[in-house]
Amino acid sequence: MNTSDSEEDACNERTALVQSESPSLPSYTRQNDPQHSTTEPKRVSVIPEPITFSAREPGHGPDGEDEELTLKYGAKHVIMLFVPVTLCMVVVVATIKSVSFYTEKNGQQLIYTPFTEDTNSVGQRLLNSVLNTIIMISVIVVMTIFLVLLYKYRCYKFIHGWLILSSLMLLFWFSYMYLGEVFKTYNVAMDYPTVAMIIWNFGAVGMICIHWKGPLQLQQAYLIVISALMALVFIKYLPEWSAWVILGAISVYDLIAVLCPKGPLRMLVETAQERNEPIFPALIYSCISFASDEEAHHNEDRAEEREEAEPQRPTVHGQNRSHSVEEDLEEDRGVKLGLGDFIFYSVLVGKAAATGEDWNTTLACFVAILIGLCLTLLLLAIFKKALPALPISITFGLVFYFSTDNLVRPFMDNLAAHQYYI
């Protein structure tokens, strides 16, 4: 079974950490003209996949205040991202450990990884996995550039159609397969009409929540579920060594694509910031909600600015309409993480869980990824611009995976056999 192109593409742009607020606008507003603070500074809700820290940094004011606000909210944001990342990983690990379908290899591979790893020699296998990686990464690069070009030339309908198609596939087809495998594992008798009803409801509500509006937590839950489903597909269909090499390569690609001046993801972020538009909601996980239209209508002086950009408002502050800039700042705070990051973190932890009986490796990779995320958010708070979320976490994850699997596992096994405690 091959995933569609839209799947591959949809998850490519999804890797990066971006700042959800354009720093220049608000600081301009604050620095140059205090009376403009009454007019609504545009909330640039940009956060293409990458992790974006939507805190706007005030341009002036005592430095301590800036940094203090940053850090006071920094720890909260880290936790706001720890929870969904942990949930996604827990779903993937639980599925891998219980449903054997996702660890069975029956020779089928994605068309993006055509070279088989069933070869005789180690060298040949390594070569095949590197070739697979090159093909996969080039597909991803091409898709990303295609998406950026479409965005630049304002082919919004095409992009939306593409995203809707890919989330349709995830929400209906992959979740149907997943449900089928879970039923098989637990030997549950089920009939097609019931399954049709379940999948129809699940999928329809998911499409509405992700692409239109819905309660924030439901939207977050759906995004976590589709990331987990995508990660499971990758775990099943990527061959062993190719998966590890791809994980490494995609972190490097993420680094280049987000930080280089001509990188596609960076161009996507900047274009979206210029146009004051949010990046497609289907590609990012956000911790604060976009306001519903009713709330917007309560406030005429903001209505115009709303037509393009979906405003960000934490649901907590939904009622409060007095707009000092500080309050806007507080309301703006939130972090966004691309779905591709969720997917690849879960792929790493899922593969760690899939290899053998050992839980220590899974645990070590989990801690490593969380620490990497923490460090990335720290860097985001310091640099305040779009940052790739994959490199640090995946590097730590890979290092911990290979070292725990090869070094720590024999040590701990020996200790447990003798019941020695360290």
Least distance in angstroms from the C-beta of 86 to other proteins: 10
Least distance in angstroms from the C-beta of 90 to other proteins: 14
175-186 and 63-98 are packed helices; what angle lies between their axes, rounded to 10 degrees? 50
Cβ closer to other proteins: 99 or 250? 99
Side chain identity at 16, as an amino acid letter?
A: A
For the beta carbon of residue 312, count every other beta carbon within 10 angstroms. 25
Site residues (vs other proteins, CB under 8 A): 64, 67-68, 71-72, 75-76, 78-79, 82, 357-360, 363-364, 367-368, 370-371, 374, 400, 403-404, 406-408, 410-416, 418-422
Alpha carbon separation from 148 to 47, 124, 153, 292 (Å, rounded):
14, 36, 9, 28
Alpha carbon separation from 165 to 13, 22, 127, 158, 211 (Å, rounded):
16, 30, 34, 10, 11
Cβ closer to other proteins: 73 or 234? 73
Cβ closer to other proteins: 14 or 77? 77
| Closest to 313 in 3D by CA, of 294, 297, 334 | 334
Least distance in angstroms from the C-beta of 266 to other proteins: 28
Least distance in angstroms from the C-beta of 314 to other proteins: 16
β-sheet bridge partners, residue 193 = none
Cβ closer to other proteins: 237 or 400? 400
Residue 156 CA, chain-centre distance (Å), reads: 21
Q: Hey, which residues are catalytic here?
A: 254, 341
Rg, Å, the chain Cα set: 22
Cβ closer to other proteins: 2 or 406? 406
Least distance in angstroms from the C-beta of 67 to other proteins: 5
Cβ closer to other proteins: 226 or 381? 381
Cβ closer to other proteins: 168 or 412? 412
